Chain A
Amino acid sequence: MPSFSIQDFMPIFPAAILAVGAMALLLSEAFLVSVPHASASRGYQAVIGVITAAFAGTVAFHNAFEDPRVVLQGFAVLDPFSSFVTVVVAVTVGLAVLLSAGFLKHRNAERGEFYALMLFAAAGMSLLALSAEFITLFVNLEVLSVATYALTAYLRRGTRPAEAGFKYFILGAFSGALLLYGAALLYGATGTTKLAGMAEVLRAASSGDKAWLVYCGMVLVATGFAFKVAAVPFHMWTPDVYEGAPTPVTALMSAGVKAAAFVALIRVFVALAPGLGPQVPFVLFGGLALLTMVAGNLMALPQRNVKRMLAYSSVAHAGYVLLGVTALFAPAAGTEGHGMGVLSASPLLGQVPASAHADIYKAILFYLLGYAVTTIGSFGVLAALERREDETRGTTWDLDRFAGLAHSKPGWAIAMAACMLSLGGIPPTVGFMGKLLVFRAAVDAGLLGLAIVGVLTSAAAAYYYLRVVVYMFMRNAAEGAAVPERHWQTDVALAVATAGVILLGILPGPVTAWLTQATMLALR
């Protein structure tokens, strides 16, 4: 009979808080709202959401300083990854809730279940980041997916939300099935669904007759994750869904879902890579990273629709994180990893040492944090600029909407400019620091070719990011352009995000120092 102590439940505590908060919101919708359609009486819901997120974030922050350990009989782990991602998710969902408050009020669509779904999704993300067993992982992936499907189709105005929701749902379920089938094959090969157990079996067994099961299973699982993180060519849903979803939801998807999925992907593949040839995960992720960096940026280039541009940019940024992931699997010098053109690896110091791995983890986690803050800020400005009147038209997010923003709303323009600089990887923003860490880690692992592609594509990307800045600061607003409404919640969220983008860019020291320490500790 297994016995659990309170220590076992610490890691899932943030997720539990989020879920309780979500249920409270659902109940409030049932019992506390007396007058139907009176949005004035729902102002407190966003506050509950933010408080829940802050509470969960605090607990996760506390967890971050715990010793890394396996909990709940190996179904979950408490380590820097899970705690850090939970903090990121809590920050993200808190800001997204704040953004939603103004956004929904403007549309008379403020409902408790919207915030509740956001919190459920956040709980799913947090749990996904700490799952160490395939079925747990799948269930949590579905928890966050189902919540985001519903959120995507939440607004019922025009054809876009339902269409986006449907595309996301069908393709998401499709990729979920691929992942699950892969998990089934891996289970068949190893006889267990726990990652630690699988790793043990795979390390012990010489590649016997079950090898093909492992290979097929891993490829299928990789596909499932590649869909969630929006890696090319599994990114096709991204622009359509991001465009159709309510903008605060897009922000949550692009920041939180990506972070959680990346951590789960890394957890699975670091555990199971010994079952594959040394070159296979490297080539898989290297190829994904290459395609994603190049195609993501190229497709963002001609976009005039800023929301779609940000969607493609989200794809491109997945590519940079994948570059970091590839660095984890870079083959050592002298192995067959050499001589594959761009995909070749030649580590500077022979075998990639453990400390280099710590650097790679640090780079990935810092990049995810930086991207989350930045993307919340940029989608936040976008959400603030939207007007419900032209929701059914496709021009809501045209670049022209940004013309002259520096005059009408200088605060928003500065926030957007900071976020665009950060996405473009231009100092002094967090995006620059993140890119620097990732590229540096990639070069240390010997991925010179991929790193150069990364630098080149991010140089090209500066063009479309800065175009937004140019429109805001150097174009005059069209005659008779409507001045968007302000909500204090939006302003607070934007201020927090902008401060994060700039402060983390100028003084990344505390975060990177903590990450260095934590990852070293976890790897030991």
Chain B
Amino acid sequence: MQLVPTQHYLILAAVLFCLGMLGVLVRRNALVVFMCVELMLNAANLTFLAFARERGDVTGHLSAFFIIAVAAAEAAVGLAIVIAVFRSRGTVNIDELHTMKH
């Protein structure tokens, strides 16, 4: 069976990572920005898995599980904060969050 070469996974992960980064930079909705960060984390996950598969090593798989758990915890707190923002301002548009500056 012809295996997909590791490079392909890595390139996919890199593309996902860059997409996520771009999303964080340009999207205006706080929730979408947050999802883009999740995309970046998953790109890292994919990289771990690709390398683990190449080497037949379990460390990468293990890492992926930990990252998923951490991402879940982060999501819980993150969504709570987004809700707090929405409550105090009635919007989750990042553009409007600049009370503190200079």
Chain A interface (Cβ < 8 Å from any Cβ of B): 134-135, 138-139, 142, 145-146, 149-150, 153, 156, 158-167, 169-170, 173-174, 176-178, 180-181, 183-185, 187-188, 191-193, 239-240, 243-244, 394
What CA separation (Å) do A135 and B43 show in the bound complex? 15
Known: A153-B84, A177-B37, A187-B63. A160 touches B74 (CB 8 A): no
A146 touches B74 (CB 8 A): yes
* Contact among A156, A158, A183, A191 for B55, CB-based, below 8 A: A191
Chain A positions within 8 Å of B33 at CB level: 170
* Contact among A135, A153, A239 for B81, CB-based, below 8 A: A153
Chain B positions within 8 Å of A174 at CB level: 21, 24, 37, 40
What CA separation (Å) do A183 and B55 show in the bound complex? 16
Q: How many of chain B's residues have a CB under 8 angstroms from any CB in A?
A: 46
What CA separation (Å) do A183 and B51 show in the bound complex? 12
Cβ distance A219 to chain B, nearest Cβ, rounded Å: 14
* Contact among B13, B48, B73, B100 for A163, CB-based, below 8 A: B100
A142 touches B73 (CB 8 A): yes
What CA separation (Å) do A146 and B94 show in the bound complex? 20
10 contacts across the A-B interface (CB closer than 8 A): A134-B63, A142-B70, A145-B74, A149-B78, A161-B84, A165-B81, A166-B97, A167-B97, A181-B40, A191-B55
* Contact among B13, B81, B88 for A158, CB-based, below 8 A: B88
Chain B positions within 8 Å of A146 at CB level: 73-74, 77
A156 touches B84 (CB 8 A): yes
Q: Chain B: which residue is nearest A168 at the CB level?
A: B81
Interface pairs A-B: 6 shortest CB-CB: A177-B40, A184-B47, A188-B51, A162-B84, A180-B44, A181-B44
Does B101 count as interface, using CB distance less than 8 angstroms?
yes
Cβ distance B65 to chain A, nearest Cβ, rounded Å: 10
A interface footprint on B1-38 (CB within 8 Å = 1, 0 otherwise): 00000000010010001001100100000100110010
B59 touches A192 (CB 8 A): yes
B37 touches A181 (CB 8 A): no
Chain B positions within 8 Å of A165 at CB level: 81, 84-85
A142 touches B51 (CB 8 A): no
Cβ distance A311 to chain B, nearest Cβ, rounded Å: 10
Chain A positions within 8 Å of B82 at CB level: 166
Known: A170-B33, A244-B100. A187 touches B67 (CB 8 A): no
Q: A interface, by DSSP: helix, strand, loop or mixed? A: helix
What CA separation (Å) do A139 and B69 show in the bound complex? 9
Cβ distance B5 to chain A, nearest Cβ, rounded Å: 14
Chain A positions within 8 Å of B67 at CB level: 135, 138, 180
Given contacts A166-B30, A187-B63, 6 further A-B pairs with CB under 8 A are A135-B62, A138-B70, A163-B99, A170-B34, A176-B41, A193-B63
Known: A180-B44, A180-B67, A181-B40. A187 touches B77 (CB 8 A): no
Chain B interface (Cβ < 8 Å from any Cβ of A): 10, 13, 17, 20-21, 24, 30, 33-34, 37, 40-41, 43-45, 47-48, 50-51, 54-55, 57, 59-60, 62-63, 66-67, 70, 73-74, 77-78, 80-82, 84-85, 87-89, 97-101
Chain B positions within 8 Å of A164 at CB level: 100
B24 touches A170 (CB 8 A): yes
Q: B interface, by DSSP: helix, strand, loop or mixed? A: helix
* Contact among A156, A180, A193 for B41, CB-based, below 8 A: A180
A187 touches B60 (CB 8 A): yes
Cβ distance A217 to chain B, nearest Cβ, rounded Å: 10
B20 touches A166 (CB 8 A): no
Cβ distance A301 to chain B, nearest Cβ, rounded Å: 13
What CA separation (Å) do A161 and B101 show in the bound complex? 14
A193 touches B59 (CB 8 A): yes
Cβ distance B46 to chain A, nearest Cβ, rounded Å: 8
* Contact among B21, B40, B99 for A160, CB-based, below 8 A: B99
A187 touches B48 (CB 8 A): yes
A184 touches B30 (CB 8 A): no
Residue from the set A158, A180, A184 with the largest chain B CB neighbour count within 10 Å: A184
Cβ distance A213 to chain B, nearest Cβ, rounded Å: 9
A159 touches B89 (CB 8 A): yes
What CA separation (Å) do A29 and B22 show in the bound complex? 42
Cβ distance B90 to chain A, nearest Cβ, rounded Å: 11
Cβ distance A523 to chain B, nearest Cβ, rounded Å: 29
Cβ distance A303 to chain B, nearest Cβ, rounded Å: 9
What CA separation (Å) do A331 and B80 show in the bound complex? 47
Chain A positions within 8 Å of B45 at CB level: 184
What CA separation (Å) do A180 and B85 show in the bound complex? 27
Chain A positions within 8 Å of B44 at CB level: 177, 180-181, 183-184
Q: Chain A: which residue is nearest B54 at the CB level?
A: A188
A162 touches B59 (CB 8 A): no
Residue from the set B73, B74, B77, B81 with the largest chain A CB neighbour count within 10 Å: B81
What CA separation (Å) do A187 and B52 show in the bound complex? 9
Known: A149-B81, A181-B47. A142 touches B74 (CB 8 A): yes
What CA separation (Å) do A356 and B6 show in the bound complex? 44
What CA separation (Å) do A185 and B13 show in the bound complex? 11
Chain A positions within 8 Å of B81 at CB level: 149-150, 153, 162, 165-166, 169
